[in-house]
A and B are shown apart, each in its own frame.
Chain A
């Protein structure tokens, strides 16, 4: 009986730490992407995959050796993009044009794949298109 009480007390104390604020993490950026590996990307927009839960866009980016590589970037949910004014048409109108992105690499080591945080199309307007925790 005493053992049970002690276990319960320990569980109660642990609960306090486990569920310390902020209690909510809707969708953990840190689980999938590395906030220590964020950088700027500039490339040409080649493709848009506009489906839920996340949009993906693709850029042709020159690497340090001058070779062009195609990168994919994950964004917020489509609903969030629509509500902040970054709608599908913006991407369509900028297809083939230069895009600047601040993004963070995937933790699983997948090559040429990142989470997009902020983005500028050729008009220079800053858009928040995903979490950016660097």
Chain B
């Protein structure tokens, strides 16, 4: 009898959990988001030469508008890719490089981030770790990228000019571009060593080579894929998931970093970290 009662109790708990779980799912399904995933739109616009026109005000999310600090945002609209749908491989570092990254304290890591120190993000980080918009102006002979963050800009020439033999280290690198069908392939070398690939300590060497692949499969979507080759730091090249940026409108805002107090605050924290006994 007691055993029977125990089984009854177990089944009652299981049934209750199923009901609660079902209600939770229904609630999630019934949530009416005010900021949703932007549909793909019609076919992409094309330049007179037949190539897709990459011009547009591109947002680093699926919504075609700002999602940070806003209420009612569909979680599916927040990111540029869903790792469950398009898993992104992880970089495989050489032992010395991994040791260097792991030796950074949390504050050192924070201080290395361009979002904290106001250094230009550079390429390819501008496509991988940038929460602000990019306005692109595409002409047959050039692609101009106007990055909202820090008011940075970049001009990519589309005339097939070769990469320089002795590239100067630049935040956005030295680039050459070509079309492969409807994909614009941009290869770049020569990067300023103060840039990071990702804001997790992933630094690079002077042998960094970045390949960006731009596609506009529809009016509202810009797909950007990045390949990082860095034989001094990585065991093998790393390829990003296809990141989807979405077409928005509205202003591109000014962003001059004129009042950065975080460096001072973090330096104080760094001093605390270095105190004996810490």
Contact = CB atoms under 8 A, between A and B. Distances in A.
Interface of A: 7-8, 10-12, 14-16, 18-21, 23-28, 31-32, 49, 51-54, 56, 74, 76-84, 86, 106-110, 126, 128-130
Contacts of A83: 65-66, 68-70, 250
Contacts of B129: 24, 26
Contacts of A109: 268, 272
Contacts of B70: 83-84, 128
B102 A81 contact: no
Contacts, number: 135
B200 to A, nearest CB: 7
A78 B253 contact: yes
Looking at chain B, what size class is its interface with the partner chain?
35 or more
B229 to A, nearest CB: 16
B66 A49 contact: no
A49 to B, nearest CB: 7
Is chain A's interface secondary structure helix, strand, loop, or mixed overall? mixed
B253 A82 contact: yes
A31 B69 contact: no
A10 B265 contact: no
Contacts of A107: 269
B90 A23 contact: yes
Interface of B: 65-66, 68-71, 83, 88, 90-95, 97-98, 101-102, 106-107, 109-110, 113, 115-116, 118, 128-129, 131-132, 148, 198-200, 202, 235, 250, 253-262, 265-266, 268-269, 272
Contact of B90 (A19, A31, A32): A19
B69 A129 contact: yes
B265 A106 contact: yes
A109 B202 CA distance: 29
